[in-house]
Structure 1
């Protein structure tokens, strides 16, 4: 089945209303180009490092402006709209980094809370502790759409291949990785990681990214990508700024790639043995 899929690249600021307007404009542009599924980046609603300022704009998912706008766009345009993620106030007073998928009637089809928290110290002194603000998710999810089975991930999740393997084994033909990758880590690993996830799972990978210098002071890598199951880049965004990527894909290419390299089927269980160091005399009979 051949369909058009899209990823939109943004440079979200600190104002959710302004970001919602940008999202709506870019989603409409993708739909006008024939896309039936459109993905937005991680933290579409706002990139805000200041904790107090973030708390001031937080809403629950029923009143969040990004979720509500995406639902309206999906119904208006008759397409699937996948909000890569936005910050959502949970009922327990904590925060979720949550993605939303709305169907062509504007109904909420699925949510996904980012599982792996970006807690790192980088070489340039850049330090992040995502777990200090967000509660990690516990559920990996796949969903059947009318054109393919789709699996969910967000940004730092891409470094944990077991998540993608589980989704591929469950039949996901499209793996999604909306992101706000830092420039430093993106330059080193973005393309390699995403192409690897596509190749090792025989799946399309769609990764809508944030790109550019943001109002809260951070800089993200951009280069939104749509990759086929053989690891070929079908569409790529710029280093910074807005972009609408649309690729026409044949979903059957996933099954074809898995038939050519049947590693999902050939995987075997194994035991790991840790051996002691050899004595100075080496092995003895």
Structure 2
């Protein structure tokens, strides 16, 4: 259910109540291909599925190829939970195909047999269901060295881009031989520009500030830990949506808007959630914009949403119009966006005569 946003004559913006939705599905899991017949929709919308599946427990004496087969069956079942909703993007946790309880020696033995088998299975699912899938796992480079990577697979099952975890926990290198990633790529998808972070990355401003400058539409966070307030901080700081896939349903896998608000979450009963996200949005401060926002709402009515979280002083403007973007709406009413306002305020501070 969606509640309409109203701008009251006194100038107060009401809080937009965002709908939460869990998708429950049960059925056969031996065949996960669905015949996709997509409705036409505004390009700015993307349907995101996040799966917070825990690590698969496998007897360490199991033959490596059998472990691969068990892992594929595990993810076949997990994907079967979300595919009926026909998502555009599926996100999974860090080290999604690493069995629990294996020694490092056993794990490496398994990885040598696994090679790209599980990634190729993910790619097959992506192609058959016309969606993007993030495959987050340990990956061996051509020179034999290792990375902790998130691989974006496109709707054709092809590799659209790879992010290598920049900030490793120290033991990932000293014990597991994994090297830190160097780059922070922005991957272009048909629904928007995407950035990545993996687990420990969330603690470091160096990576966050790169993304703040790059301005992605979405940050994808595959992880073993939640990160607490850092998820909302990254979303607000980078002015973009944020989707987390955290291993184990006891820890929430959530989708967060640029205000830092949780708009969808898995539960203690189900390790997945699917929701629609409107990426055609922008943050604006209330200062100088009260009357402009009233006029914007008066003209566009239900074709624009203005979300006020309270206390922050900033609101999220989202275009629901099929043709007019939020950028065009802001320009039409000369609404000063949040970053522009902050830049102007900083310039004022540094203007000669304005500082003690």
TM-score range, shorter chain: 0.7 to 0.9
| 1:116 equivalent among 156, 167, 173 | 167
- 1:144 pairs with 2:188: yes
The answer (yes or no) to whether the contact 2:253–2:272 under 8 Å persists in 1 is no
Per-residue displacement from partner, 1:236-268 (whole Å, max 9, x unpaired)? 2245x8622112111012466496421797397
Distance 2:72 2:142 in 1: 23
- 1:205 pairs with 2:247: no
Please, what is the CA RMSD of the aligned residues?
Answer: 2.6
Bigger Cα Rg: 2
- 1:99 pairs with 2:150: yes
Structure 1 residues 95 and 199, CA gap change in structure 2 (3 angstroms): same
In structure 2, the residue matched to 1:262 is 339
Per-residue displacement from partner, 1:105-154 (whole Å, max 9, x unpaired)? 111111111111113xxxxxxxxx12221111111111111111100111
In structure 2, the residue matched to 1:9 is 52
Gaps of 5+ in 2: 1-43, 59-66, 285-315, 318-335, 348-356
Structure 1 residues 242 and 41, CA gap change in structure 2 (3 angstroms): farther
Distance 2:193 2:53 in 1: 26
- 1:153 pairs with 2:197: yes
Structure 1 residues 87 and 223, CA gap change in structure 2 (3 angstroms): same
Distance 2:341 2:109 in 1: 46
Gaps of 5+ in 1: 120-128, 213-220, 270-285
Per-residue displacement from partner, 1:187-221 (whole Å, max 9, x unpaired)? xxx23010110111111011111016xxxxxxxx6
- 1:73 pairs with 2:125: yes
In structure 1, the residue matched to 2:309 is none
Deviating more after overlay: 171-180 vs 20-29: 20-29
Deviating more after overlay: 147-156 vs 255-264: 255-264
Deviation at 1:100, TM superposition (A): 0.9
Aligned residues: 242
Distance 2:340 2:238 in 1: 8
In structure 2, the residue matched to 1:131 is 173
In structure 2, the residue matched to 1:222 is 251
SS of the residue corresponding to residue 57 of structure 1 reads: helix
Deviation at 1:25, TM superposition (A): 2.6
Deviation at 1:51, TM superposition (A): 1.1
Structure 1 residues 65 and 41, CA gap change in structure 2 (3 angstroms): same
Distance 1:80 1:255 in 2: 27
Structure 1 residues 68 and 264, CA gap change in structure 2 (3 angstroms): farther
Deviation at 1:94, TM superposition (A): 2.7
Structure 1 residues 264 and 102, CA gap change in structure 2 (3 angstroms): farther
The answer (yes or no) to whether the contact 2:93–2:246 under 8 Å persists in 1 is yes
Structure 1 residues 43 and 27, CA gap change in structure 2 (3 angstroms): same
The answer (yes or no) to whether the contact 1:60–1:88 under 8 Å persists in 2 is no
Deviation at 1:60, TM superposition (A): 8.7
The answer (yes or no) to whether the contact 1:59–1:89 under 8 Å persists in 2 is no
The answer (yes or no) to whether the contact 1:200–1:263 under 8 Å persists in 2 is no
The answer (yes or no) to whether the contact 1:227–1:235 under 8 Å persists in 2 is yes
Deviation at 1:47, TM superposition (A): 4.2
| 2:218 equivalent among 171, 174, 177 | 174
In structure 2, the residue matched to 1:21 is 73
SS of the residue corresponding to residue 96 of structure 1 reads: strand
